[in-house]
Amino acid sequence: MKVSVVGQGYVGLPLAIAAANAGHVVVGIDTNPDLVAYLDSGRSPIRDVADTFISSVLGSFYSVSTGYESIGSSDVVVICVPTPLDSSHEPDLSALTSALGSVASQLVAGTLVIIESTVAPGTTRGLVADILNRAGVGYELAYSPERIDPANKTWNVTNTPKLVAGITDSARDRALAFYSSFVSSVSFGSSVEVIETAKLLENSFRLVNISFINEVAGFCSKLGIDVREVIDAAATKPYGFMPFYPGAGVGGHCIPVDPSYLAAAARTVGAPMRFIDLANDVNLSMPSYFVGVASGMLGSLVGRKILVVGIAYKPDVADVRETPAAGLISLLRKAGALVSWHDELVGTWNGELTSPLSAGYDLAILVNPHTGTDLGLLGDTQLLNTRGGY
């Protein structure tokens, strides 16, 4: 099939390369010219996609462009643009709206358009169709949420089960056929609203449980017991329990964001989701909680040298979107601490450079150290481990 994948980020790039490897002729479209030039030189900005994955299909089954010209000759168009929150913590659909407008301007009859961006229930049938209808041609429309988990060595685009739903049975069947050509397990729901909601349920489930375990961690700390040991003990139960682990807060483009899409949709229909609102409150309060713990360990923070270790939103990725380290560092500095940070995968962030791991700090706060981070280099520096455990 001829395929255009709009958005070549964490979701769109691995999808485009997997489809190209399956023999589809794929054009990756992205409005970021620097990214397009980088990909066009056969290099990958994402750790999970090796350079060789790109260079092996570049110029044959994969090409990349800032323009939308390939839409007019595509059998399938997949939309993978960001759907973040705006400054009021409400869904920001501007990138999606803009991408769909560009697609509509080139769309030809018979094309299957698939939305992979995370959206609230009703968005595909409503806003998405409204914009594509401007094309004035007969097209088909499906929804298939991405489940990619960056740095996961077991589950990737091709072996993570995929969900699809179509506005029509024919759109659903075409989406099933497309994904089945490179994903080992694809199942479908009876409506796009079911699958849109399923995606938001998955990530809201994580947010609520991580926030809950953060409260449990605070309780264990008061008792002087190790929350990690508590979780591991509970996890010996073979059914009805799933372990979640504490931290300085959730980050990335999904877990802190997607539940707010569900909460906003729930408010609209008069069925508010108090668990999500509460979980957001707990999550956003974690940096301030750990500033309190640091004060308890050091007394006044004024002039104290603190190193924050691992500022990416999770271990083994270089992605700092929505990272809880941002709030933590900002609050520590407000309290007068002299804060540096170390992250060997991030390197530079907000115009600052990573600092080497070394002894000589009053405190090191472990946010998301990577697998290869050598904490031994901190010498006898006091440690505060936000992830639990002593």
Catalytic residues: 254
x/- binding map, residues 45-84, to ligand NAD, per CB under 6 A? -----------------------------------xxxx-
83/106 with CB nearer ligand NAD: 83
Task: Give the Cα separation of 302 and 58 in Å (integer).
Answer: 54
For residue 186, give Cα distances in angstroms to 78, 178, 189.
16, 10, 10
Q: Tell me the two tokens of residue 86.
A: 């705006």
65/181 with CB nearer ligand NAD: 65
146 sits near ligand NAD (criterion: CB under 6 A): yes
* Residue closest to ligand NAD when measured from CB atoms: 9
Task: Give the Cα separation of 325 and 309 in Å (integer).
Answer: 9
CB of 117 to ligand NAD, least distance (A): 3
Those residues with Cβ within 8 angstroms of residue 168's Cβ, 6 or more apart along the chain or in another chain: 140, 141
95/264 with CB nearer ligand NAD: 95
183/378 with CB nearer ligand NAD: 183
CB of 219 to ligand NAD, least distance (A): 30
253 sits near ligand NAD (criterion: CB under 6 A): yes
30 sits near ligand NAD (criterion: CB under 6 A): yes
x/- binding map, residues 100-119, to ligand NAD, per CB under 6 A? ----------------xxx-
6 sits near ligand NAD (criterion: CB under 6 A): yes
Applying CB under 6 A, among 12, 28, 259, 327 the residue interacting with ligand NAD is 12
CB of 13 to ligand NAD, least distance (A): 8
Going along the chain, which residue ranges are E strands? 2-6, 25-29, 62-65, 76-79, 112-115, 140-143, 162-166, 186-188, 305-309, 338-342, 348-349, 352-353, 363-366, 383-385
CB of 65 to ligand NAD, least distance (A): 10
Those residues with Cβ within 8 angstroms of residue 28's Cβ, 6 or more apart along the chain or in another chain: 4, 5, 8, 12, 13, 16, 36, 39, 62, 63, 64, 65
Applying CB under 6 A, among 10, 143, 313, 361 the residue interacting with ligand NAD is 10
Applying CB under 6 A, among 15, 29, 107, 325 the residue interacting with ligand NAD is 29
CB of 79 to ligand NAD, least distance (A): 9
CB of 147 to ligand NAD, least distance (A): 6
Q: What is the DSSP string of 179-198?
A: HHTT-S-EEE-SSHHHHHHH
Task: Give the Cα separation of 17 and 380 in Å (integer).
Answer: 46
How many CB atoms are located within 10 Å of the residue 171 CB?
21
Whether 378 contacts 357, CB under 8 Å: yes
10/289 with CB nearer ligand NAD: 10
Whether 224 contacts 287, CB under 8 Å: no
C-alpha dihedral sign at 321, 326, 327, 328: positive
6/171 with CB nearer ligand NAD: 6
164 sits near ligand NAD (criterion: CB under 6 A): no
Please give the size of the binding site for ligand NAD, defined by CB under 6 A: 28
Our measurement of the distance from residue 218's CA atom to the centroid of its chain's CA atoms, rounded to an integer in Å, reads 26
Task: Give the Cα separation of 97 and 102 in Å (integer).
Answer: 9
91 sits near ligand NAD (criterion: CB under 6 A): no
10/139 with CB nearer ligand NAD: 10
The total number of residues shown for the chain amounts to 390
Whether 165 contacts 142, CB under 8 Å: yes
CB of 254 to ligand NAD, least distance (A): 5
Those residues with Cβ within 8 angstroms of residue 102's Cβ, 6 or more apart along the chain or in another chain: 6, 68, 71
What is the contact surface with ligand NAD in residues (CB under 6 A)? Answer: 6-12, 29-32, 35, 80-83, 95, 98-99, 116-118, 146-148, 150, 253-254
